[in-house]
Chains A and B, each alone.
Chain A
């Protein structure tokens, strides 16, 4: 077999988003993922592996295999 440069970097990684597994492009950023999910960045906050990732870092933060994300918003409550 001929070795290909992309072999050691898979095309997708599996992450957990709000409790559900999902394949996303490898090295996708949080900002790109939110765009793909059609989520308004203004309305949400994002945690990766139980740590808040501030909005200012969404464009640079790349997701890795097995990352566990929470994408939350405000809802009615008392």
Chain B
């Protein structure tokens, strides 16, 4: 009997069951139905043509075989159609009479890393004041990381106990702060500074210091550097800018406080405190009851830094600040352990970073 039908029909018959099972929806089922029992071009139609052309003595036997196939396929298709239709009906009913207390399908939501999100936010805050973003490499030269920043050549930070150096390139190191971006940018813009009308930028990025990993230390962390160079820039401009930025960040009632401090690349130098954003300066655990939290270090650019870059400090002046992103993030979120930022648990990232 098998020899009565061509092998491709038998193959089609054999593959029918799995093809049927693979139909996940009514459209797929209709396509399968067309291919097997459709009026034109289907396996069934082809068999009918064969039957017509078959010798008389085979017609009966062949007809029975063809009917058996057609019947088998049609029943199975109908059964599957009923199943799919009732499934669709059930789903339509579920959709039409949707019980809003049931969990609906929700689009996937990921998260930015909390540190990146905070850095992005800072850029957003400074953009309206005309700041853009400058970036520099993480592998730096001693000249950019130290010398150009008025850091004396015997400064302890240069020691291999504090700074990572490259084995094959002893003159290269992993930058210990984002401040070398100052040096690079000033060197680059020095010849055109007058045409530009000064420069103002932020430099967010990753930095490295040789600290063992513990709840408050990490060999890699993030900083955001800010710098402005113009004519007649003084402490009032630093204060005004930071007041604007920190109020944008923490709310209009935020107060800031400058305290004298020291960094080799600024003079005068200061630490900047912000009225505690968590308790509204009434005193809490985060501000240790003082109402103030230290948020960044800043100052007017040291004349040696401008001179190193080829900028005349008697004509130009400016300010710079540097902020520890992890420190700020930990303080504001009260995250107890710095290592959480580098473990990348999706639950932490979603809760702390989230989306804009």
Q: Are A and B part of the same complex?
A: no
Q: Which residues of B contact A (CB under 8 A)?
A: none
